[in-house]
Chains A and B, each alone.
Chain A
Amino acid sequence: MNLQPETLRRIDEVIPHYPQKRSAALPLLHLVQEDQGHISQEAIAWIAAKLEVAPISIYELVTFYPMFRQKPIGRRHIKVCRTLSCALLGGYKTCGEFERQFGTHAGETSPDGAVTVEFVECLASCGTAPVIMIDEVLHEKVDIARARELSAQIKAEDRK
């Protein structure tokens, strides 16, 4: 495992927050995913050894929690909220626009590797629907026009 020194430092900092090491499983998965982009089999074995649990105890988390992924994603990650309040105000159209803009389907990465578009469940910002997240940033009231603007921005940044 080739983790950044900062990631290793944060891993060692977080484990003592809990009386039982296993509790640090989700924090470690987040840190490793931020560092590596996804959770590989090697990462699962590494985290398991670090927390002194069987690899299955980590693997079963990766397969359960929607935010963990076993494959690399695009350079940017677009998550469009699918749930009711967003859908009532056009969430499906917003997702469709991102799919069109990047020539991909929800759940997949665009052929050029620029983005992964995901249709996710509630992002808890229902009052400003439809909402999306681009990487870690929330964008509110993303109708088709706004989706086009944001897509253009992503494309421009990607060319740099």
Chain B
Amino acid sequence: MPEQHRLIFRHIDEPGYTPDLACYLRHGGYEVLRKAVQRPPAELIDEVKKSGLRGRGGAGFPCGVKWTLVDRKSGKPIYLVVNADESEPGTFKDRYIMHQDPHQMIEGIMISCWANNVKQAYIYIRGEFPEGARILERAIAEARQANFCGPNVLGTAYGCEIYVHRGAGAYICGEETGLIESLEGKRPYPRIKPPYFPAVLGLYQCPTIVNNVETLCHVKHIVDMGGDAYARIGTPNNTGTRILCVSGHVQRPGYYEFEVGRVTLGQLLHEVCGGPLPGRAFKAVIPGGSSAKVLRFGERFKGKRKVGAEMVEYDWGLEDVPMDFDSLAMIGSMGGSGGVIVMDDSVSMVEALGNINAFYSHESCGQCTPCREGSLWMKRITTRMVHGQARPQDGELLKSVADQIAGRTICAFGEACAWPTQSFVAKFGDEFKEYAKLKSDGKQPAQPLI
């Protein structure tokens, strides 16, 4: 079985490990921050660049590059916003960091703030984590008391405050510009880019860095071991570790931290997660949160890929695909937020898509017509197929709606709601054609999904 490499989740579920400062200090806490504030900020940004760290929230954008894009000449304050919205269905890693190891996150935040000359940071935590918000507030108060944040961090002239800001149940707040609007006290309507790149015109029209919780925890370990050493973990261009959250039809769902690219989908699902439920076979998997394109078991992927400097041919079954950003993108899906949702042969793909469509139509912010209307139409079609009459041409109809959303909206929600429909219909087209017949045959699925 591939071995986990627990960097971020090192102490998660460890007996006796508590979220208070004393426990964190007993485990060497804040030593990295102590050393970091003795180093010039530019050096720390360099370490993060060298590390190759890619954002763990969904887009996989290189963190060091994001930091370099920050407008440092505007004379305006620079803000750090921690995206703790964890709203992509299938994702549940940041929950455990915040509930069980909040100081690891705060140390990562403070190192990142020092590196970027940030004097005010906000943690935007989803409204559904009230206990998490309380734990974080308690941890920040403890850290402030001990001078790990607040005025005069560790006896220096540098000061930085961290505040917790609770969301209120809207998925779109995970989109960084929507999150910023929400933090400004408005409806979270995403902003158009350009000109509203957060690095230039973010919170209060000031340069703003938005990073995911897990990403900021990695920063602590990068600064601790050095960017070069970190880059040796994982695989080229897919460095470090990442937490994979597995849910759905496997024997052992849960969270598992691996070196990026050092575990294949097959190893993860069969060995680590114990395979399918008794008497069942895997049918489909969504590898990076519910907006990632679905993959079908039995699919093969062929092509050429870059390994180091060489182009190498690959011929993979779905189970052979390494769980890293580039490989999953190469086979037409994405690593996204690390949320792996598994469906076995008891599931009707029409009904699973119906469930996803209901989510996205509920969560569309309503700003752009293609998304607001399209997500609702897709939901209505799949709901009608399940609860009313299904027609053989419904798959095509769904696809035509989805095709008119992607690429025509202000934010990536357009893609997020179109990709499931496009991929479900592309990969399981026959099932959509035959759904009416399957239904009339009275084949009831094990679980109603819509």
Contact = CB atoms under 8 A, between A and B. Distances in A.
Interface in A13-31: 17-20, 22-27, 29-30
Chain B's interface size range is 35 or more
A85 B89 contact: yes
B144 interface: no
Given A83-B355, A133-B128, A24 B185 contact: yes
Contact of B347 (A88, A125, A129): A88
B187 interface: yes
Contacts of B352: 84, 88
Nearest to B358: A82
A120 interface: yes
A57 B404 CA distance: 32
B187 A60 contact: yes
Nearest to A17: B163
A127 B245 CA distance: 7
A119 to B, nearest CB: 10
B170 A124 contact: no
Nearest to A62: B168
A134 interface: no
Given A23-B184, A82-B358, A92-B448, A124 B163 contact: no
25 contacts: A20-B185, A23-B184, A25-B185, A26-B165, A30-B127, A53-B185, A57-B186, A61-B187, A66-B170, A67-B127, A67-B168, A84-B89, A84-B90, A85-B90, A85-B247, A87-B448, A91-B447, A120-B128, A124-B126, A125-B92, A126-B92, A126-B245, A127-B247, A128-B253, A129-B253
A9 to B, nearest CB: 15
Contacts of A83: 89, 290, 355, 359
A97 to B, nearest CB: 13
Contacts of B355: 82-84, 87
A109 B33 CA distance: 50
B214 to A, nearest CB: 13
Given A122-B88, A125-B92, 18 more contacts: A24-B185, A30-B166, A64-B187, A64-B365, A65-B170, A66-B168, A83-B355, A84-B290, A85-B247, A87-B450, A88-B447, A91-B447, A93-B448, A121-B363, A122-B171, A124-B95, A126-B245, A136-B131
Interface of A: 17-20, 22-27, 29-30, 51, 53, 57, 60-61, 64-68, 82-85, 87-93, 120-129, 133, 136-138
B427 interface: no
A68, A121, A124 interface centre (most CB from chain B within 10 Å): A124
B248 interface: yes
Interface string B181-200: 01111111000000000000
Given A20-B204, A121-B359, A127-B255, A92 B447 contact: yes
Interface in B246-263: 246-249, 253-255
Given A84-B449, A88-B447, A128-B253, A23 B185 contact: yes
B123 to A, nearest CB: 11
Contact of B449 (A64, A87, A122): A87
User: What are the nearest 6 A-B pairs in CB distance?
Assistant: A126-B247, A65-B168, A25-B185, A66-B169, A85-B247, A22-B185
Nearest to A58: B185
B362 interface: yes
B167 interface: yes
B359 A29 contact: no
Contacts of A65: 127, 167-170
B367 to A, nearest CB: 11
A12 to B, nearest CB: 15
Contacts of A121: 89, 169, 171, 359, 362-363
Nearest to A26: B168
B9 interface: no
Contacts of B169: 65-67, 120-121
Contacts of A93: 447-448
B343 interface: yes
B87 interface: yes
A66 B202 CA distance: 25
A46 to B, nearest CB: 15
Nearest to A92: B448
Contacts of A23: 165, 183-185
Contact of A126 (B89, B94, B447): B89
A53 B204 CA distance: 16
Given A122-B89, A124-B86, A129-B253, A85 B341 contact: yes
Contact of A27 (B128, B161, B166): B166
A68 B165 CA distance: 15
A66 B188 CA distance: 12
Contacts of A18: 163
B91 interface: yes
A17 to B, nearest CB: 4
A66 B182 CA distance: 13
A61 B359 CA distance: 20
Contacts of A68: 168
Contacts of B184: 20, 22-23
A158 to B, nearest CB: 22
Given A20-B184, A127-B246, A122 B168 contact: no
Contacts of B87: 122, 124
A1 B14 CA distance: 46
B402 interface: no
A63 to B, nearest CB: 9
B359 A26 contact: no
